[in-house]
Amino acid sequence: MERQSTLPAAGRAPGPTTLNHSEPNAPPVHGEPVQGEPAVPSAATSAGVTLEGIERLKSLARLVLAASLGLSFLLAPPRGTPLYWVALITFALYFVYAVAVLVFRRQLLGRAARAATLAGDAAALVVVLLLGPNLPAAFLLFFVYFALVAGWWQGWLAAALLSLGVSAAYLGLSWRQAAEPGASWWSALPRESWLVVAGLLAAGGLVGTVAERQRRQLERAAVIERFAALLSLDAGWPEPARRWLAALAARYDAARALLAYRDPDSDRVLLWVFRGGEAGGAFEEQDRPPRDVHEFLLDNEPRAFLAADLPARLVEEFSPQDTMSAPLPGGRGQGRLFLFDRARVVFSPAQLDDLERLLAGLEPGLTNLLLIRSQASRAVEAERDRIVRHLHDGVAQTLASVEMQLNVYRRLAVADPAKTAEELAGLQAVVKQEQEELRRFLRTLKSVHVPATELGRWMFAHSAQFEQETGIEVDFWADPVDAALPEGICREVFWILREALHNVQKHARAQHVMVRLRQDEAFLRLLVDDDGCGFSFTGTYSQRALEEQGLGPVSIGERTRALGGALTIDSSPGSGSTLRVDIPLT
């Protein structure tokens, strides 16, 4: 158990017991790096990912080549000759070499290391060439391997040129072996040689095409991974949106980027606008009414385009000289991306195809980001409604009542000054109480950061502060909680305790409160027990029963539900009540 303490009564506490935990951390300045934020992946990172993927493919192909060479060598004559043993040792070493390169490929991504691995391949090829007449299958395997490497690095054309060179060398060797005095090279070459050349050219072109397609898939996957990393919520909003649009503008050399998204619940249009040309670029988020849907989402233009008759409102606001636009995947008319004013030249159809493929690959991450943004907007609206209700039912009602009473006392002051003074004293007490209520409510609006390692201390400090301010005795126990517990859960538990103690002060007329925090394998549990007047019901009520009958603390219920937890209240009118919150950890 972390601590077990009975707090002293008000006025008897030795020294200060309050903590300054109401001030939020200062937000990062726009344009400055956020502490703890990982570096944004760059184009060099994508190239590194592609290089690593290609080296992995080469290592696997090399291993298959080594195994196939050994098998073809074992099946080929002659055996027992010195050259046989030289080749056997060479291929065995090559197989070990292929396994080692596969295992340590991450450490061999440098230019010198890659050149060394190709030199090892070339050394094995020399042995194959020396044994060429006896190992035609080995020669063909090496040809396929080097055609793959050429296709991975330079595309199908490099593989085709390699095939052409190998074919020319093969024809030259065949002509020297079969040439007769006075015969032309065309008639001297056997028909089988031309068939072999045709096979080499076809195989080289096909293998190179497959390798180039694999490379493009690796590059596309690296780009998608890079842009998906930019969408992660590892920094405060709206940083993910800003850096994502900035990366898009940089990729397509655009001066400005605009994303328009329609909220499916409110039909309002959310605009993210990025303008380059400044340090880090300028980012702006706008919330537009539903009537702007057709202006920015272009429902009548569901496809991607390079140039189109844009709506007058969009042209008036952004004055684009050159435009490339594509709809967001996942639903017609839900969102659209615009890129404006490419530097030097206009946008090309190849760039438009690339943009569509990129957006299709980013659909999960982009959909999640927009969903989270919509939920955040709804949460803000709900919090605004809660603040309005609280101020209307509290401060606004009190001020209206004070205004009416002051009007009465103004007329009463002349006739009965003593009575007026007495009534004004009571009114002053009401205003003071409402002032304290307003201060408490304003404190709840300030964000706090409660790490798991500090949860017990924060709750203890607030309990001590509550006891000093109210005179209600508090007994507090807290078991150690898991240090890996998310800060969001800890913060909500702290707010639940604050709300529960406030309700005790406001409604329970209690003299003593017991607060208990503990954690087991499945739940984080908070218990607040008081000896006050209790609720208007008798017995144990679940959160659902409380909501159905309009009973219990609404805000505590909402916070508990947001955490997926369960709220239970046990009440004995005249004898107090027990509030219990169980929050699942799995």
* DSSP alpha helix (H) spans, 79-236: 82-103, 111-130, 136-154, 156-178, 185-188, 191-230
Q: What is the 3-state secondary structure (H, E, C) of 47-61?
A: HHHHHHHHHHHHHHH
Structure tokens at 79: 């055996």
**Residue 294 has what DSSP assignment?**
H
Say how many Å lie between the first and final Cα of the chain, rounded: 23
Question: Pairing state of beta strands 335-342 and 282-288?
Answer: unpaired
Contacts of 135 (CB under 8 A, 6+ apart): 72, 73, 76, 87, 128
**What distance in Å separates the CA atoms of residue 66 and residue 411, rounded to the nearest whole number?**
107
Token pair 């070493």 is found at 93
Token pair 């780009």 is found at 223
The partner residues of 514 in beta bridges, in order of sequence, read: 475, 529
Name all contacts of 181-188 with Cβ < 8 Å and 24+ positions apart: none
Contacts of 244 (CB under 8 A, 6+ apart): 227, 230, 231
- What's the one-letter identity of residue 506? K
The most distant pair of C-alpha atoms in the chain lies apart, rounded to whole Å, by 145
Of 326, 333, 335, 334, which Cα lies nearest the Cα of 358?
326
- What's the one-letter identity of residue 371? L
Query: What does the angle CA 125 – CA 130 – CA 135 come to, to the nearest 5 degrees?
Result: 80
**What distance in Å separates the CA atoms of residue 243 and residue 250, rounded to the nearest whole number?**
10
**What distance in Å separates the CA atoms of residue 436 and residue 573, rounded to the nearest whole number?**
27
Per-residue pLDDT of the chain (586 residues), as tens digits, is: 433 333 433 333 333 332 333 333 333 333 333 333 333 344 444 444 455 666 666 666 666 666 666 666 655 655 566 666 666 776 777 777 777 777 776 666 666 766 776 676 676 666 665 655 555 666 676 677 777 777 766 777 777 787 787 777 767 766 666 555 555 555 556 666 677 777 777 777 777 787 778 777 777 777 887 888 877 766 567 788 888 899 899 889 999 999 998 887 777 888 889 988 766 678 888 888 888 888 888 876 778 888 777 888 888 888 898 899 998 886 555 789 999 998 878 898 989 998 988 888 888 878 777 777 776 666 667 777 767 776 776 777 777 777 787 877 777 777 777 777 777 887 777 787 777 777 766 666 666 678 888 899 989 998 998 898 889 999 999 988 888 888 888 988 998 998 899 889 888 889 999 999 999 888 999 999 999 998 888 889 988 888 888 887 888 888 888 888 999 999 988 889 999 999 998 7
pLDDT at residue 473, rounded to an integer? 94
**Residue 41 has what DSSP assignment?**
P
The partner residues of 579 in beta bridges, in order of sequence, read: 528, 569
The partner residues of 259 in beta bridges, in order of sequence, read: 272, 337
Of 493, 537, 534, 535, which Cα lies nearest the Cα of 515?
493
Residue 481 has a CB neighbour count (10 Å cut-off) of 20
Structure tokens at 307: 């140039």
**What distance in Å separates the CA atoms of residue 230 and residue 236, rounded to the nearest whole number?**
13
What is the three-class DSSP state of 481? coil
**What distance in Å separates the CA atoms of residue 520 and residue 186, rounded to the nearest whole number?**
88
Question: Pairing state of beta strands 473-478 and 512-519?
Answer: parallel
**Residue 362 has what DSSP assignment?**
T
**What distance in Å separates the CA atoms of residue 45 and residue 439, rounded to the nearest whole number?**
51
pLDDT at residue 338, rounded to an integer? 93
pLDDT at residue 44, rounded to an integer? 41
Residue 274 has a CB neighbour count (10 Å cut-off) of 24
CB 581 within 8 A of CB 565: yes
CB 512 within 8 A of CB 531: yes
CB 250 within 8 A of CB 242: no
* DSSP alpha helix (H) spans, 231-362: 239-251, 293-297, 312-318, 349-361
Dihedral angle, C-alpha 273, 274, 277, 281, nearest 10 ° = 130
CB 252 within 8 A of CB 324: yes
pLDDT at residue 43, rounded to an integer? 42
pLDDT at residue 337, rounded to an integer? 92
Token pair 């050219």 is found at 201
